[in-house]
Amino acid sequence: MPQHQLHRQQSSTSCQFEVFDPSEAHYFCCFGFCHSKTVGVLIFLFELIELLSSTVYLFLKSATYTTKEWQSTEVLILVGLTLIGIIALGISTALLFMGVCCEESTLVIPYMVRQIIMMTVLVITGFVKTKWVWHIIPIILVQVGLLVLSFGTYKYFADKEKFNRRNAISKLSQQSHRLSTIDLC
């Protein structure tokens, strides 16, 4: 028995078709929003704000570096990693947006992978730069929350896709059965 509730409706040909009803599904709710498309939009808006603020921060921070600081390897690595992070954030956020708009579960996966990679990098950074730990812990907690929410969105879309596939197959088999029973005098 699937996790979500299915309703059966009688049609005029007495065939039964199932209808996906997300309001009765048992999915993770966030601030009263149980419909995963709404949760996906909230995640996207949060990530868009993060992308814009990271870009502005990098621009302002790099503008304050002196010529001597730009020649140091640490600054170049920091700016390079930040640029790579911004590019990955932009791509995964765009894919998340397309996944939410199209209700396509596979487009949410790159976002979840980026979240896992980002949390791993943050944990490693916390061990390397121990004085940053108290700044990193809240960031990791927010990223874990976003990962949980995005997994709920992924699960919702995957279940809906699976349901639609199964329903389409049953409709096709009923139509082919109906066509095979037609008398072609």
163 inside domain: yes
State the pLDDT at residue 94.
86
Domain span at residue 43? 32-172
Answer yes or no: is pLDDT of 16 > 70. Answer: no
161 inside domain: yes
80 inside domain: yes
State the pLDDT at residue 22.
53
Answer yes or no: is pLDDT of 163 > 60. Answer: yes
State the pLDDT at residue 179.
65
In the chain, how many domains are there? 1
62 inside domain: yes
State the pLDDT at residue 3.
44
156 inside domain: yes
pLDDT in tens, 47-96: 888 888 888 888 887 788 787 877 788 778 878 888 888 888 888 888 88
More confident residue, 28 or 13: 28
Q: By percentage, how much of the chain surpasses pLDDT 90?
A: 1
Q: How does 17-33 read in b/e, with b if 16+ C-beta sit within 10 Å?
A: ebebeeeebebeebeee
CA distance 141 to 38: 21
102 inside domain: yes
144 inside domain: yes
Highest mean pLDDT, choosing among 12-21, 132-141, 149-158: 132-141
65 inside domain: yes
